[in-house]
Every structure is written in structure tokens, then in C-alpha cells.
Structure 1
Amino acid sequence: MSAQLLYIVVLLASQVSLNALVVAFTPPSSPLRLAVLPLIVICVFQVLPICMEATGKVIWAAFLGEHSITFLVQYIDTVLLSKWSVEASGPISSPVIETVHNQRVPMTTWDRLRFGYRAAMSTRNLGTPYEVKGVPRFSAKDPSYVP
């Protein structure tokens, strides 16, 4: 693996990790949430110019660049717009919060990190109360069923 490709992987992992840590350990109103945004933007601007040189193939360069931009958009959505938080077990802007908030249990650091990484990586939130509308349900009991 080339040094540039390794650098890209580290930057992509940093973007996801920053998202997860902010969701897991900061309250929705924290100014730190906005302060981390420039770091993620810097990661994007570090990844994009070297993708082609690092991979040598247009399709892989596009794939890596797209993921970097997607992680930026995911950060803006989960952290700044929807304001996901551990305390609410989801976005604070959701009407589902009342039912989930009443069932809250104390979370360990490991639980917080798992929640943060799930929020950082899940773009459609399948199987949660916050699932994207219009997504057909799959049957967990019948794997052969396709909607």
C-alpha cells in the first residue's frame, strides 16, 4: 500500500471517528460540534487532490473522493442539522424522541462509542425508529422475502 493511499485511509477514518466522538460525547448545543466541522472539511480537501495519484485508477479515485464528501455531508446531517445525541438515543429534532427518551438507560463509554459510530456510518438508519421514510421493510424471519 502506497503512503498516499494509507494517508487517504487515515483521513477517511478520521472523518468517521470525529463524527462518532462528537455524537457520543458532546451535547447537541455544544459549540464544539461546529468547531469540528473545519477539521472534516480539511480532511476532504486533503483527500480529493491525491486520490487519482494514490490509486492510479479513475474509478477508485472517484470512490475514495465520494466517500470523503459523503462523510462530510453525514457529519453536517447527524451533528449539525438533526443533532443526534446519546441522551436522546437519536436525533433531537425527531418526533420519535418522546417514546425513546422515556426508555433510556445509563450508557457506558463503549455504548456511547458504538452509538456514535452507528450514527456516523448509517445514512438510512435501517431498523431504527428514525428509518428513512419510503424504505420497504425486509423480513428478518424470512430472508428469501424481497419487497
Structure 2
Amino acid sequence: NVDELLDNALKLLKSVMNMPSNELFSTIGPAGRMQQLDCQFIKYIKATRGDVTEAARIAIRMLVEDEFILFEPYLTAIGTMIEYCDSVSSEEFLCDSANVKRELFSIRSLVGLKVKQHSAKVSESQSHNLDDLASLPHDRDQ
């Protein structure tokens, strides 16, 4: 049962949240792990219940409370907020929902561009490192 798996994952994460040396956090910190889990909750809630409002509650928490957000959870949260704007009537917004959606699309595009630029820099850096390694003298004859 996926509900149980997600609940167990949340319990596990909460039980080790104050132990940064835990193996669970060897590559990504506690906040990042929570974002990954929140991302899965968002996807699951939308896919199984079609409850965009509940998914948006999770998404907005991440967007408002977390200082840094991993790429996939960030895009999932922004996309969910865009879906939420589509799902509620204009009367429920304190401002124009079209403007909110436009801003969310703009943010999502900007993030995608930044990630592409970062990926290009990392790729370029890795190729320079490989070039540097290739130019090192090899001690095959020794």
C-alpha cells in the first residue's frame, strides 16, 4: 500500500531529522530529504485523489518555509501551484489569478534556465578536469 509506504517514510524521516550524521543524510541534508518526500506526497495526492488543494498546501509550505529547494521538488511545487490557480475560481483569490499564474510560469522558466546554465558550467568544468588529467604524465614505463 503506497499510503503506508509514504507514512512510514515520513515517520522514519522525522525520527532521524535531528541526527545530521545519519546515513540517510550522507548526500542530501534533512530539509532536502523532506522536500523529496513532500514531492512524492504531492504527486501521489494528485494522482490518486485528484486533490490539487491538498497538494498545493504541501507545495506552498516548501516554497515559503525552505530557504533552499532541490530542483525537482521546486518544479513540482511550482507546477502544483499553477494547477491550483486553474482549479479555483477568481473570487477565491485576493488578487488576479491570471497574474499569479503568469508569475509562476515566469519563475518556473527562470529556474529551468538557471539549471541549464549550471549544468552547462558543470559539464564544461568536468571536461576541463578530464583534459587536465589527460595531460598528466603517465608512468607506464616505470
Greater relative contact order structure (CA < 8 Å, 6+ sep): 1
If the length of structure 2 is used for normalisation, what is the TM-score?
0.33
